[in-house]
Amino acid sequence: MKSGKKRQRVRSAIAGLRFARSRPSLGVFGGVTRVMQASGQYEISTDRGRLDVALIHDFLRSSDWARGIGRAVVERSIEHSLCFGAYLGGRQVGFARVITDFAALAYVADVFVVPEHRGRGISKLLMRAILAHPELQQLRRFLLATRDAHGLYRQFGFQPLAHPEHFMTIHKPDAYRNGHAA
Ligand SMILES: CC(C)(COP(=O)(O)OP(=O)(O)OC[C@H]1O[C@@H](n2cnc3c(N)ncnc32)[C@H](O)[C@@H]1OP(=O)(O)O)[C@@H](O)C(=O)NCCC(=O)NCCS
């Protein structure tokens, strides 16, 4: 169970999220990467150049949803997503990415926190940063899929699909085992 002190730390970190312009970078927003700085212990950043790709790949290839995924696939997914890293003392401790057209729709994917930093509110910092991102304010819909973290996303306004029968998918659960895992 979390202590009151820990909750307070998370609350102040969330309250302290702000956006700042940083050095010209990977060109997500006209050559400028936006960085979000948490005032507390943890920092959330959208600078793809800071991501620890080895850590992300290591986590995802053993995850339930991307088991066996290849490093090149992870790199490509990062390259084409708006990525959010969580950092402590410069070391990456969490990740989430948003696949979006920056106009109407966004899909939140690959949310994780490294085991030793779980239960400290980091996923909530990530979700807060995603939903506060200035380029994602006018969207009509956010989507995500989760096996058991509904209680996390519900805190941020996500609801089960009102009409799941209106949605369809092409799902290839074996894709990473069939030659796309390079
Ligand atoms: C799920 C995960 C990202 C949560 O990260 P975290 O930083 O430990 O979570 P937080 O400390 O921010 O707290 C999450 C909150 O959501 C709640 N929650 C609901 N479902 C949860 C779940 N399956 N796992 C963790 N927390 C969950 C927690 O109880 C907590 O509630 P609180 O606000 O009342 O304290 C982390 O446990 C993780 O990386 N799990 C493995 C990967 C995974 O399952 N990712 C989700 C894919 S959809």
CA of 111 to the centre of ligand 1 (A): 9
100 lines ligand 1 (CB under 6 A): no
Residue 118 alpha carbon, nearest atom of ligand 1: 8
- Options 3.40.630.30, 3.30.200.210, 3.10.290.10, 3.30.413.10; CATH of 4-177: 3.40.630.30
148 lines ligand 1 (CB under 6 A): yes
Residue 180 has a pLDDT of: 52
Residues 30-47 have pLDDT tens digits of: 323 344 545 458 999 999
Residue 179 has a pLDDT of: 53
Q: CB count, 10 Å around CB of 106?
A: 24
pTM to 2 decimals? 0.85
Distances (CA, A) of 130 to 18, 54, 88, 95, 115: 12, 23, 18, 11, 21
Residues 1-15 have pLDDT tens digits of: 444 555 544 444 444
Q: Identify the residue whose C-alpha is closest to ligand 1 atom 40.
A: 112
CA distance 34 to 105: 20
Mutate to test the pocket of ligand 1, among 3, 123, 150, 153 (most ligand atoms within 8 A of CB): 123
Per DSSP, 176 falls in state G
pLDDT above 70: percentage of residues in the chain: 75
The vertex-98 CA angle with 11 and 170, nearest 5°, equals: 135
111 lines ligand 1 (CB under 6 A): yes
